[in-house]
Every structure is written in C-alpha cells, then in structure tokens.
A and B are shown apart, each in its own frame.
Chain A
C-alpha cells in the first residue's frame, strides 16, 4: 500500500533545529533546515548523516523547502548545502530569500567573530548556498520535477512566512512551518484552502495555550512600559531584528504619538534601518490595512524610534530599548541585560518563546541568580515580564487550521512533548483523525489509499450518464466498461471498442435448454399457449411472438418443435446468451 514516511531530524517533540524529512510516492523532501539556539556543539545542527553516511545529499533529496527566515528554520542551510554537500533546488518565498542571508551572516559573525569558533560556514558559503535558492510566489504551483509539485500559502508569523503543500499525484502533505491564525498590526492571518492533504505537519509551540484577546495583551504591555518609564526606569525588550520587533515598534510608535511621550525609544544593531526597508519593499506581504495606506503613510517609517548606540545604555533617565537577539543568549541584548539587571526600577519584557538553555528561558522560569561566563554570578533584581507576542497559532488556531485544511492525518512538530500529548488527544477526539508526534530520528509511516486516475472514453461516459429515464448527472449509476492497461496508461472504454482496438473477435456464448412437455396440439398452438402464458406471467417484460413461430422474452429465444418420435411431446428450445439478466428468477417449471 502506498505510504508517506516522516522523520524529524529536528523539532521532533522539541522547539528549534526544525528539519523534517518526508518521503512521498518515491520523492524525498526536506522541510526546513534550522539550527538549535539551546546548543553550541554538534547538536545545534540536524544530523544529516541520517540521510546518507557517504556521498552527496543531492542524490537522496529531490528538494529542500524553507518555510521562513528564522534561524531555527534556516540556520543550518549553508552548512547543509556547502559543507555536507547539496546541489538540488531549495525553495523559499521572495522575502525569505531576501532576508535569510542577512540573518545567516549575522549568525556567522556572532559564532565565528565573537565566540571565535572555527569550522563554521563562511560568508562565501552563504552566498553560494543562496544561489541554489529558487524563489516562489504565494499560490504558485511549482513543478519540482514532472511528478512533484509544491505550493506556498500565506502563514502570517513573520514577513514572507509560508506553509507548503507537497503533492505527488493525488497524495499530498502540508507543512505549516510557523504560523499565526490571527492577524496582527503588521501581518495578516494564515490561510489555506480545503486541500484535504493525506498529512498535515503542524507546529505546536502553543499547543496548550489559549491566549486572551490580543487587545488585552497590548494594553498590558503598554501599561508596563509606560509605568516603568514614568518612574524613570529603563525597559529592555529582547527581540529578533525582524518579526516581533516591527510589530512592537508599530505598537509603541502609535502609543508614544497618542500619549505625546518624550522618553527615547531605541532599536539596537545596524540591522534596524535595513530591516524596516525590507518591510517597505515587501509591503504586499503585510496586512490589508498597511497595504492600503502605504502610499499616504508608510507604517515602517518610525518617527519616535531611533538607532541605538552602545554608549546610550549608561545614559541616565528612562528609555526603551529593543535589542537583539530575542532569547538573551548572546549579543547586544545580553550585554544590556547585564548592565541593567541589578536595578529593580528597570524591566525586561520577553515578548516571545525562549528555548531551554538560554538566559531568557532561565529568568522566565524564575531563576534570579545567573551564572555567567567566568563563574561570575549575576543577580537579577530588575522586573522580568513575559508577554506572548510570538506570532504562533495557539491551540485554538491550530484546531482552526485543521478544520480549514481537513487533513486525513496530523503530525505535530515544533513543540514540547507534554503539551503535544495534550493537543494530540484533543485533535483525535475532535476530528477523528490519527495524530502523530514522532521524536527526532523516529519515523512515522502513514498509509495512503489513493484512487487511480484513468482515462474514460467520452462516448462511454456520455452513454452511461444518459441512461435512465431522468438523466440526472448527480445520481450514481451502474456502468460497465473494459479497462485497457498498456504500458503505464489506463483507459476505460466500452467492451466493443476494446475488442475493436485489440483486433479481437468476440465470442457469442449461448446456453440452450430443452424442455419436454406433453402437448398433443399442433406446434403453433403450443407456441401460442406458451406465449399467452408468458405474457400473463411476465407483465413487465417485452414478450413477442415472431412471424417465424418463435417467442422472444427480452433476449431469450423460445422455439417449439414436435418430438421426432413422439408427436404428442413437444420440445421447447430455450436459448439465452451468457449474460446475467433481469429474468434470472423466472423458472420454467412453473408450467
């Protein structure tokens, strides 16, 4: 039976290092190629040796698909394509293709230049890797080869994020990447049509959370920022340069405007300006409202938000700083955090999910004494707030997507095992579909039961649909035909045509049966008697008395002759073709 096999190399019962192998109808596709933020050793990249121990990966993969530019979805790409070796096509959307190399370069700089690691991918490798990328439009059907096609759907989450449908024949898989089912201030909501895939692979970051209204969260956030600034404190908001950063900037910008606030807002790293530029050029990927008004007022041109300089961190007085990266695991956000952590007037707001092992995760789980590099202990006195602004679907959103796409099976990735377990049960209960949650390296096999497309001759189809008193196309009808299987083609034609095409003669198979009856009358009188009897018995059928003395009942022929020896015995010859007909329950022993 045809099957679809799924093996996560990363993001199996885990968040980070997304990398999922899918085998469908003989095609192998790799979904995402991410890094893990919680590790600094070999575990940060997926274990590609699972695919093959030796030889290039190109021979084993038909294509690679990247869902969006976050490093936990694309961070291992240059390593994979240039250091392990893959030359096949890599698909991503245009914004992802534009932004991905910048984040990779940033990642490389932090790892190589700051931490001094060697044996890491180089800038040139990032460039070479990006040359293998094919950009796709939303909803465009990309023919990877003759059989394999992929199609991108809008996923919200971040600029250019997409869900992908992978299809071979009538078997299909949908991979969601990360997605958001509620529109926010700068992005729209994820959308997919009722494509009824055999398997839906969905993220499940917020498998157990049902978030309160976005409005409340925003009000809460603004209130906390405002209060801290009012009492002269500093607010640190660790973010990734692209994504939530723009969302929160728009939020603060409009708030500052409305409240006429004077405290400075800064955005760290040189990426800011550039990042906002991407949003301006790819405005078609943002939400309806921004797209509609961009000619009059571009939402990504901020008046109150200025570029941050390292020296500003020591300035007295209140300020708000957006700093990268978002999980406080390295870079500028961590530096500022160390400076400000000791003062209880200050506040750090974590607007998104933090991977285990990062400083962000530690302070969120209540740890207030942190061991930093060099055995130094950092005491955290500043207020720590967590506010989920991650643009992931919550439990409600995940269920909503499943309802939209109507998959036959669901597979959870990109989440924590315990939470997945809960969601899995809920999905199985509500949708009565199988739900899987493989760990990394574990293969899930799903059996599909595809129907077989064949060509039917139009003549046969029209003849069959026309039969019946009321030619109602919607009513199911019984039809008969002959299937010709030649090479790889299947054609369904009428039996006559099949014979004609193959130059075969049709045999006529007739059954005959003799019935002896005692009847002294003349032959034609016997016939007449039989005829009248049949006519009386078989009111619903066409019974005819032919001029040559025989009787037909539909296609059954009846002839009577006198017995050669005994004129008083008449022999009834009953003859019918080999066919299962309407008269099978008529028995001549009724005489």
Chain B
C-alpha cells in the first residue's frame, strides 16, 4: 500500500493511494494562493493599476518591467493569474482508476487531471458537491475569461531570472508548472466523468476494494471516505467539522477500526473560534453601516455565506439594519441560493424538519422575498440601476485578484468609512490586500473556518483509534509563526507519518487473509473432524475460480485432467475422482485396532 502525495497544501490535498491493485486519487485540490503573486484583473481599466512602475532589478536592468510591476514594495506579475497544479510527474496519472472527491473546494483541479493526463476512470462525488463545485468553477472561469489580458508573462519564470527576483516570487515553487485557468468546455467534460453517490453507499471497485462516502459535517454534501477490503480499512478524512452549521453532522462512528487514517483539511486558523468570528463580523458590519460606510465581504458563492446570511437574518432587525440593502453579486449567485434550498437530505436535522413542513430550509429565501437581499449576476445591468449606498456586498473572489470584488476594492478603497471584512480563511488577507496599498478603507479579519481544530482532532483520534495516522507535515509541528504552541499540532500514539509534496509513502500494513467463497455443493462434501473441543478441521481440495477479483471454490471436476496418451486415458476413466494430493494425518493412532484390522 503506497501513498503518492501530489499536493503540499494541507487543506487542498491531492493524494493517490495504491491499494490492492487499484489506484485511487483522493481529492484534487487546486492551490490558488499562486494568484496572489499576480496583479488584480479589474473589470474596468484602472488608472492606478496601469500606472504602477515596472520592476527594476538590483543591477539596474529593466528587461522585466513589462512583466513585473511594483506596488508599495511588493512585486506582482502583470499577467493572467495562474494556478499551482498538483504534481503530474510523480506517477502516470492515466493509470488512476477512480477519483474520490470529499468536498466542492477539493475538486477545483479536476479538469486539469481528467482532461490533460489521459485519465479514463470514474470520479465519485455527492450531488451537492458536484452542483456547487460546478458553480465555483463557473464563477472562476467567468471572472477570468471576461477580462481578457493581452500579455502572458513567462520570462520571469526562467530559473535564472527567478533567482534574481525579490521574495516571495523568488521562492515560489514549481512556477514552470503553473497553469492558466481551464475553460467551460473542459469543466463540462470533467464533470461528465463524475458518478453521483450518496452517504453510506457502498461502491465496489473491480471487486477488490469497496469505497464509501460518509458525512463529514463541513459543507453541503461534503464527505470523508472509507476505502476497505475485507480485511483492511483506510479512512480518508478531509475537511470535517463538528460544529453545528447547516450540513448534516459528521459520521464519526464509521471511522472506527481503521488500519490507516489519512488526515487532511483541518482548520487553517486553529486559534480563532468560528462563533466569535461570526459575532465580530456582525458587529463590524453594523458599525460601518451605521457610520454611513459600505461593507465589502469577499467570499465564495457557497458555503459559509449561507451561515452568514442566516446570522444576518436574525441580526438585521435588532441591529436596526432593515433598510440597508444586501447585495450578492456573482454569475452563480442565483443558482447558489436556489441550489441550497433543494438539498434537504444533506442538511442538518433542524433544516430537514423545516422542509417537511414544507418550508425552505434556509432563511435567505425570506430575505430575498422581502427584498432585503438582492442578487445579481454581475455589476453590469440591473445592479447599476438598483445600487444604493451605504450597502453590504458579498462577492468574489476571496483572493481579491479577479471577480467583481476588484471593482469594489478600487471604488471603496480610498475612503476610511468603508470596511472590507475577510471571512474566507484560504488567503492571507495581508497578501490579498498588497496590490491595493496604500489603502484608506478599514480591514477586518474574521476568518471563519469550521473545520476540525487540534483539540477536536485528538478527541476524534482517541475515539476512533486508528492503528496509523498519516497527515501533511504541517500538522506534525507547531505553525511557523507560533513555534511555542505545541498544542497546535497532532498528538497521537504512534506518532503520525507525515508527507510533503512529491513524496511517496509506504503505508504500514500486512495483509494476511482474503475472502473466498465455498460453493454449497463443495461444502456438503467436506468432512469436518473435531480435533480439539470447539475446533474442527476439514481437508479441502477444490477448484479455485478467480473472477472479478472474487475467489470461489467449487467441487473439483470429474474426471480429472485428460491425460496425454490414449492408453492412459482409458485407465484414468476408471479413477472416479481426483483425490487429495496429500491427506492430513495427525492425532493418536489406535495401534491395537490398527493391528487387528491388519490381521483380518
């Protein structure tokens, strides 16, 4: 059993497990932090951005000034943003049999894998994961494609050139592997390879391995996966949550008795309490609006936004915000809000009960009905007519590099009345803001990450007791910025095996048994003999049939194999059936009886 680690990002994993002659890819996360090195893509030409000075290297050379621009001491690539793909060279990805997706954030690299590597297998994911994943991809493609950029910088990627650049560009990894965004046809082709599955559905892979998705409690349709044969069990835990938000609670019991537990997708902000952050979010929002400022919330079109809207629904009236318009701008805003209402079966118990009434499970339906929340596909069209300030705007992308958020950063950045509130934990907010500096607008950082923290992990591990834990190396040491916090790492016995990008781990396990079926006719012919109290033995001689990785024992055929010569054939016809090669002889010998028998 081997684990190929294709991504070093702990929350956007991409691993390949080789297990009993099957090759299973676990998630294909796309590391988008690479986009932070690029200039934002404004929808309307931005005078500020276009006037940024080109980079002059230390030796005075200016040959990069078209590609790299400087802003407040940071250097940015002036080009279409690119993403850091999972490793594609570590193993032949065309040999991957199946891809298991755990949640919609962890499938963003799917088109790169299914469309460029010769992949011919099947992808398994739950219905909400696929539908919302499609929305995230659509939004991504849309926000990049609608701002075509003439130039595509590549000189800086030259190894000799990159060495000369200031940090962080100098240290960026595998820049030659960075790729532009995929297209909608590629997205559609990739998604067409997905087969929908439900929680606790047992899926047979080639008769050798069974995989099962389990509710992971993190997002709509998010799952952990059990990969097991009759004797071995590997649990893949990725992006799980024990908090009660909107998704169905996490299924912990089914993770018990694992031989190996692969643990990824823990909280990225282990020191922040999501509930406290939501409170802070609301109070900052209210304060800004009361002072006549606007609030910008860079976010993904699905996920935490549902919870934020639900909090606001309860908070708006008590905070006197009922006249403030809330806008949700995304090409998929409408779809996201509509889809959230139809996945009753994937929601927590409270929301399910509402559907039985029948009422929409999320209160944002009411916010829309009462016109408190309005959604638009983009800032063009209806929005420009309805736009009233002060207001609250939810829009993407959280990296602040593309999408309508760029427009509002440029528009509102100069006034200290306005506030941008960061709720998504995927990007460092300081890095995200860097190309907008100097900035007058207030910045509030309320990262809401509901995934497991280290306390919950150690409790979980104590409960489910896996024999071995495998995790990204980041989880085996305290965070670099808080090296004294030894509580911010995984603590278990035996210590976890850690992996880093491009590593291959050999997982410890020893298979000793396999399932085999004895056909009833054969079972009838067996003669068990009680050797010791409670223990019986029977000698079995049978035909072994192996088909679809299933083994079956049948009665040996009669007559046995046809001998070669004609003469022998006749002889062997007399032999009634093939007898055991070597009968088992043991136990005490009744000598007297034996002798008596002989004497007869």
Contacts and interface: CB of A to CB of B under 8 A. Distances in A.
- Indicate whether A and B interact: yes
B194 to A, nearest CB: 15
B200 A141 contact: yes
A491 B515 CA distance: 9
A456 B515 contact: yes
A509 to B, nearest CB: 6
B513 A97 contact: no
Looking at B198, B513, B571, the one whose CB has the most chain A CB atoms below 10 A away is: B513
A450 B537 contact: no
B173 interface: no
Contact of A140 (B198, B513, B531): B198
B520 interface: yes
Interface in B538-589: 538-547, 551-554, 556, 568, 571-572, 575, 578-587, 589
B202 interface: yes
B542 A479 contact: yes
Contacts of A491: 513
Contact of B534 (A284, A476, A487, A580): A487
A432 interface: no
B338 A495 contact: no
A457 B584 CA distance: 18
A478 B197 contact: no
A341 to B, nearest CB: 35
Contact of B528 (A280, A465, A485): A485
A474 B554 CA distance: 14
Interface string B218-240: 00000000000011000000000
A13 B534 CA distance: 49
Contacts of B571: 585
B512 A458 contact: yes
Contact of B538 (A137, A294, A485): A485
A283 B539 CA distance: 58
Given A281-B341, A295-B339, A580-B579, A452 B544 contact: no
A495 B535 CA distance: 15
Nearest to B230: A455
Contact of A456 (B516, B541, B575): B516
A579 B581 contact: yes
Contact of A452 (B523, B545, B579): B523
B519 interface: yes
A505 B154 CA distance: 75
B355 A504 contact: no
A217 interface: no
Nearest to B584: A495
A281 to B, nearest CB: 5
A94 B586 contact: no
Contact of A281 (B344, B517, B519, B568): B344
Looking at A139, A474, A502, the one whose CB has the most chain B CB atoms below 10 A away is: A139
A192 interface: no
Contacts of A305: none
A254 B535 CA distance: 73
Contacts of B121: none
Given A141-B201, A453-B515, A482-B540, A502 B531 contact: yes
Contacts of A465: 544, 546
A142 interface: yes
Interface bracket on A = 35 or more
A125 interface: no
A534 interface: no
A499 B585 CA distance: 10
A295 to B, nearest CB: 5
Nearest to A279: B358
Looking at A97, A474, A479, A578, the one whose CB has the most chain B CB atoms below 10 A away is: A479
A487 B535 CA distance: 7
Given A478-B541, A495-B584, A506-B584, A484 B535 contact: yes
Interface string A256-288: 000000000000000000100110111110000
B225 to A, nearest CB: 14
Contacts of B513: 455-458, 491
Interface string A555-591: 0000000000000000000000111110011000000
A473 interface: yes
A98 B544 contact: no
Contacts of B51: none
Contacts of A492: 516, 540, 553
Contacts of B540: 479-483, 492
B345 A94 contact: yes
Contacts of A473: 546
Given A282-B342, A449-B520, A464 B544 contact: yes
B358 A278 contact: yes
Q: Is the interface of B mostly helix, strand, loop or mixed?
A: mixed
Interface in B108-136: 127
A455 B231 CA distance: 10
A484 B513 CA distance: 13
Given A142-B200, A479-B553, A284 B358 contact: no
Interface string B523-537: 100101001101111
B539 A502 contact: no
Given A281-B358, A479-B544, A484 B537 contact: yes
A458 to B, nearest CB: 5
Given A139-B198, A140-B199, A578 B523 contact: no
A451 interface: yes
B514 interface: yes
A140 B519 contact: no
A215 interface: no
B539 A495 contact: yes
A453 B518 CA distance: 6
A453 B342 contact: no
A538 interface: no
Contact of A482 (B355, B539, B552): B539
B581 A580 contact: yes
A135 interface: yes
Contact of B543 (A476, A482, A495, A579): A476
Nearest to B545: A476
A384 interface: no
B511 interface: yes
B478 interface: no
A506 B199 contact: no
B22 interface: no
Contact of A139 (B201, B515, B528): B201
Contacts of B554: 476
Interface string B196-214: 0111111000000000100
Looking at B230, B344, B552, the one whose CB has the most chain A CB atoms below 10 A away is: B344
B352 interface: yes
Interface in A96-111: 97-98, 101
B335 interface: yes
Contact of B201 (A98, A140, A504): A140
Contacts of B539: 480-483, 495
A295 B336 CA distance: 9
A313 interface: no
A502 B535 contact: yes
Contacts of A584: 575
B270 interface: no
A284 B127 CA distance: 9
Contacts of B199: 137, 140
B187 to A, nearest CB: 16
Contacts of B341: 281
Interface in B83-104: none
A16 B568 CA distance: 68
5 contacts: A98-B355, A140-B199, A140-B201, A495-B584, A578-B583
- Ranked nearest first, the 10 interchain pairs of A and B with the lowest CB-CB distance are A137-B198, A507-B585, A456-B516, A451-B517, A580-B579, A485-B536, A98-B356, A139-B201, A455-B513, A504-B586
Given A464-B544, A473-B546, A495-B539, 17 more contacts: A98-B356, A137-B201, A141-B202, A282-B355, A294-B338, A455-B513, A456-B551, A474-B547, A476-B545, A477-B544, A478-B543, A479-B544, A480-B540, A482-B538, A491-B513, A581-B581, A585-B571
